Chain A
Amino acid sequence: MDKALFEFCLRMGDNTLILGHRVSEWCGHAPVVEEDIALANTALDLIGQTQLWLGLAGEIEGKGRDADALAFRRDAWEMRSVLLVEQPNGDFGQTLMRQYLFDQWQALMLAALEESAEPRIAAIARKARKEVAYHLERSRGTVVGLGDGTEESHARMQAALDRLYPYVGELFSDDAIDSALAERGIAPLPSSLRPDYDAALAETMAEATLSLPENRWSHSGGRDGSRHSEHLGHILAEMQWLQRAYPDATW
């Protein structure tokens, strides 16, 4: 089995799986119906992308596990999602700040993956990139609108940025898997995406009248599964209970 490729697909798929699940928690609770629909649609796209990434991971592994088996039958330490996507929804502003910080990274990552030497990865990237461009337009617009909004919305967005920024660095940390894939032309080194990300963030936050924290220290341990936050177990308990209680249940 191509271990590095398998791990990479898990990392991509687990990010979209956990964020998709998190965002879906808003269904029926958003401040207005249009936002409810927007959140549900974003979650749906992310879960759709999960099916592609985890489907490919299962194919690479070659042990008969499909996307559902990988999503519903792995425990916290086997998950490869970054800590950022596990963070609780908080208020609406915090949810959209998390979304923006993720969308901006995902847009850059997918753009680079469109040129991947592995055609199955390039195909998923080309498909997902169109959806993510749409997510980014909305999350960026909302961050700007609420940041440069009322005194109350501004304060909440600044608090959300301060709370979530220490999870951003993990998206750009390189390890042996990344180096191996970069050498083969399959995926970019995460750190190589940072300059464009920083430039985009600086522009967005200036427009939103928000200040980016100066401290760039980052939490880590999600994308290698070594130290997930306590939130992941709760997400998995809710997401997986049915498949765990009734294995292979179907409609």
Chain B
Amino acid sequence: MVSAPDTETVWHILAKVPDPEIPAISLVDLGIIRDVAWAGDRLEVTVTPTYSGCPATRFINTAIEEALRAAGIEQIEIRTQLTPPWTTDWISEAGRRKLEAYGIAPPTPGAGPERCPRCGSTRLARVSQFGSTPCKAQWRCEDCLEPFDYFKCI
């Protein structure tokens, strides 16, 4: 039997699992993996949902299981933890940079995005409070005129 990977290795594995809706960042970057712990032979992964109705939640759990099984871990329990509720503050610095490079303005406390992810302009207008996924809103740059996604700050 192969020896079980330690929790640090598990974190590294999960750091490579992309978010199904925003594949530019990983589940660890997104800050939704709350804990990884062994309980005997069973690995317990605690996940917190971003939005209660986010349809990606089930895909995320499947993606976690697949990645861990591929690493030889057989007994996996995925737990959902609601509290403390997920906040965009838990998105890592690396995650924020990757979001912006991907064309999604990272969350900023306050009224909206800091700058256009394409041209860097700060002349911005909100198109809609909501966007293509529960976690995003639609904005437009008034200089390069491109619409872009803004990761809502919650």
Question: Residues of A at under 8 Å CB distance from B?
Answer: 34-35, 37-38, 40-42, 44-49, 51-52, 119, 122-124, 126-128, 130-131, 134, 137-138
Contacts and interface: CB of A to CB of B under 8 A. Distances in A.
Contact of A45 (B127, B134, B138): B134
A46 B53 contact: yes
A127 B154 CA distance: 10
Contacts of A49: 52-53
B139 to A, nearest CB: 11
Contacts of A130: 85, 154
A34 B127 contact: yes
Contacts of A47: 53
Interface string B117-154: 00000000001111110100010000000000000101
B129 A123 contact: no
B82 A38 contact: no
Contacts of A119: 83
A137 B84 contact: no
Given A34-B130, A38-B128, A137-B129, A45 B52 contact: yes
A131 B55 CA distance: 15
Contacts of B154: 130-131, 134
Given A51-B52, A128-B52, A134 B129 contact: yes
B85 to A, nearest CB: 4
Contact of A127 (B83, B127, B128, B130): B83
Interface of B: 49, 51-55, 82-85, 127-132, 134, 138, 152, 154
Contacts of B84: 126
Contacts of B55: 44
B51 A45 contact: yes
A45 B82 contact: no
- From B49, B85, B154, name the one whose CB has the most chain A CB atoms within 10 angstroms: B85
Contacts of B128: 34-35, 37-38
19 contacts: A34-B130, A37-B128, A37-B132, A37-B138, A38-B129, A40-B130, A41-B131, A44-B54, A44-B55, A48-B51, A48-B53, A49-B52, A51-B53, A52-B52, A123-B82, A126-B84, A127-B83, A131-B52, A138-B129
Contacts of B52: 45, 48-49, 51-52, 127-128, 131
A192 to B, nearest CB: 24
A124 B127 contact: no
Nearest to B55: A44
A38 B132 CA distance: 9
A52 B53 CA distance: 9
